[in-house]
Amino acid sequence: MDTPTQEWWSAAEIADARLPDLPTSKRKVNDRATREGWDRQPGKVRRRKGKGGGLEYHFTLFPVRARLALIAQPKEPEAKRSREEAWADFDRLNANAKGKAEQRLKAVRAVAECEGAGMARSMAVSSAALQAEASEKSIWNWLALVEGVAEADWLAFLAPKPTGGSGKAAPLDPEFFALVRSDWLRLEQPSLTSCYDRAKRVAKKEGLPVAPIHQIRRAMRASVSKPTEIFLRQGVEALRRYYPHQDRDKSALSAMDCICGDYHKFDVFVRWPGEELPVRVQGVFFADIYSGKILSWRLSLTANSHTVQLALGDLIERYGIPKAALLDNGREFAAKVITGGAETRFRFKVREDDIPGLLPMLGINIKWATPYSGQSKPIERAFRDLCDRVAKHPAFEGAYTGNRPDAKPENYGNSAVPLDEFIAVLTEEIEDHNAREGRRSEIAFGRSFNQVFEASYKSNPIRKATEEQRRLWLMGAEGLNASTTNGELRLMGSRYWAEWMYRIAGQKVVGRFDPDNLHAGLHVYDLAGHYIGHAACVERGDFLGVEDARELARKRSQFMRAAKEEARAARDLSAAEIAARLRAAGEDVTPETLPQAEVVQLVTPHRNAPKAPRLVRAQQDHDQEARLEAQIARLEDRRKPAQVDDDPEALFNRCLELEQLEAEGHPLTEEQRNFMQDYQRSAQYRGFLRMRKALGSEE
């Protein structure tokens, strides 16, 4: 019997074909198939592939007249696909289907090789069927598929066609789909099922057609791209992480070309001296980017610029001055004492009179890492190593805190480690971190960080710090205003002065000091970073001590003696010599050389004015001028800015004096008025005023 064009039929297709002796509805076809046991015939029934599923029946189960009608139908030759369509269909197949296509290609090529050797096609097909363990009919079908096709395209034409339902799904209502999609694309990340259920309630009320959820899911995958889904459901940061990261090449660098610094908070409870409760210490670490070696580190309770300054000093003192520094954007690194004056500094206000920082003064190029981006800082890799080898060290059992609040160990808070023991373990682990071999970076090639650093450090020119540069990191920096009188500086309750400081009176300068020894004095710089000189600390003397007073008197005498000698040397001519030379340079004035008055005015005395003796009137005028000069001098003294006194009672009396002057109508300077108004708003002023009203004035 001939074979019809279509061998396998579903119940719906049988009903639509209206074949003789067969029902014309899907339900009745299924009833007949159940009644006659079509699904129990081996080789005559199969599971339908593609959308919808169900069963398919072989045409040999049909009545005779139905089979004859199928055979009598003219067979339309299937249009051969173009090579573009064939390869497009091949690309949509899964790995299993593509593997079948490769097996078919081997069988077809075996037939072609046998034919090329002179074997008949029938014999070649039989031989290829034995090798491929396939039926000869299958081989003939595969040969028909590649008939007239270039050998380069045989694989695509031999591949099974992509499966899929032949029926067309109902069109998706755009308004209903917009409800589901808009609800699903939210940062709260709701499930698609919940969004679909909510959209169904709206569709029921508004009369919108509801599509099945699997159709919504397919439409969502087709219409919403992955970047859009990430941005709307996870945010900007997740979208940034989705983009492939950049692999930065370090092969062009060398040791000390660039260092990287950042703070790390350890997940260990430590007993810090002076603290009642255990604390989690923090450490600032600096590592060489080229080799990965940790060069210096310091511990502190909080992240601060002073610890950063000391760690940088340790690094420069031991290894030299790096060319560049990649820093975190935190306040401790962006502080003025570290990076003040840098053009690319993005924290704090940038002013023209900013104190120049340590790194700009040493000529170190500053590069800022991207905020909240651990990939931008290579030292983060070392921190991950320290988290495992330091925080979870067996010596710290019971002191480990966990790296997250929801990841606390069972023995959380059982113990705390003494600071000395913590430093000892940390030092040992950092040395092991630098000396551990087998590193797999593009620079190490199995070597340790120490070996990589030393090999490059020996051949790379390194700038060493001078004695003057060492003051930049061993001393803290403060912007100080020199006294307008003699240039004296005050810092943390101490006074500093030297004989040369009259030159900076009233100016703003930079004082660098040893924070552990304030009595060692100040190294004074101008705002441009030029060194001016050293100012010694003015020690406080014993109130009843004689030796301190004698020492002060001796120093004052030396100062005055030196000042007098310098003053005498500054005057090359005496006043008498200058006057004599002026007389010699002048001309003799005689009555003949004086100009003659051409207009004369007579002054008539007042008739009623009393005639006083000339000597008495002159004496009165002189006394009146003296009184006026004394009053003017007194007013000028009052208008001068009062020296700031730390004595609260003196400040209060000063404010009362200014209030009395203002009440009497005397004008005050702007500085006096600002002082009075600021002090009147202070709690100290109100306290003295209440005490004065309660106890009365002492005068």
Tens of pLDDT, residue by residue over 504-532, are 888 888 887 766 566 778 888 888 777 88
> Phi and psi for 282 in degrees, rounded to 5?
-120, 155
Pairing of strands 324-327, 365-368: parallel
**Burial zone of 200 (CB within 10 Å; 0-12 exposed, 13-18 middle, 19+ buried):** middle
The predicted-structure confidence for 398-435, as pLDDT tens digits, reads as follows 899 988 887 888 888 888 999 999 999 999 999 999 99
What mean pLDDT comes out for the span 87-94? 87
The span from the CA of 685 to the CA of 376, in Å, is 54
Alpha-carbon distance values, 379 to 80, 248, 309, 563, 644 (Å)? 62, 14, 18, 58, 50
Sign, CA torsion 162/165/170/173: negative
Burial 551-561 (b: 16+ CB within 10 A, else e): eeeeeeeeeee
Position 427 scores a pLDDT of 93
Contact 110, 128 (CB under 8 A): yes
Alpha-carbon distance values, 186 to 63, 202, 212, 234, 239 (Å)? 59, 18, 22, 8, 14
Q: Is the pLDDT of residue 74 over 80?
A: no
Contact 407, 436 (CB under 8 A): no
3-state secondary structure of 12: helix
Q: What percent of the chain has pLDDT over 70?
A: 75
Alpha helices in 439-545 (DSSP H): 449-459, 467-474
**Burial zone of 420 (CB within 10 Å; 0-12 exposed, 13-18 middle, 19+ buried):** exposed
72 token code pair: 């009598």
Helices then strands, each counted (H, E), the chain: 27, 16
**Please, what are the domains in the chain?**
8-72 (1.10.10.10), 83-158 (1.10.10.60), 174-242 (1.10.10.60), 258-459 (3.30.420.10), 475-542 (2.30.30.130), 641-699 (no CATH)
Sheet of strand 45-47, all strands in order from the earlier edge strand to the far edge: 8-10, 55-58, 45-47
Question: DSSP character for 491?
Answer: E
Q: Which residues contact 18 (CB under 8 A, 6 or more apart)?
A: 24
What mean pLDDT comes out for the span 349-370? 69
Q: Which residues contact 507 (CB under 8 A, 6 or more apart)?
A: 481, 482, 487, 526
14 token code pair: 């049988």
User: CB neighbours (10 Å) of residue 354?
Assistant: 18
Max mean pLDDT range (497-501, 591-595, 596-600, 651-655):
651-655
Amino acid in position 611: K
The span from the CA of 478 to the CA of 634, in Å, is 38
Contact 259, 248 (CB under 8 A): no
Residue 450: pLDDT band (50, 70, 90) is very high
Amino acid in position 483: S
Q: What is the mean pLDDT of the chain?
A: 79
3-state secondary structure of 347: coil
The span from the CA of 442 to the CA of 430, in Å, is 22
User: CB neighbours (10 Å) of residue 584?
Assistant: 7
Question: Alpha-carbon Rg of the chain, whole angstroms?
Answer: 50
Max mean pLDDT range (203-217, 454-468, 501-515):
203-217
Position 164 scores a pLDDT of 53
Contact 506, 545 (CB under 8 A): no
The predicted-structure confidence for 585-609, as pLDDT tens digits, reads as follows 765 545 555 455 455 454 455 555 4
The torsion region of residue 363 among left (phi > 0), alpha (psi -120 to 50) and beta comes to left
The span from the CA of 262 to the CA of 297, in Å, is 10
The predicted-structure confidence for 539-575, as pLDDT tens digits, reads as follows 665 554 455 556 666 666 776 676 667 666 666 666 7
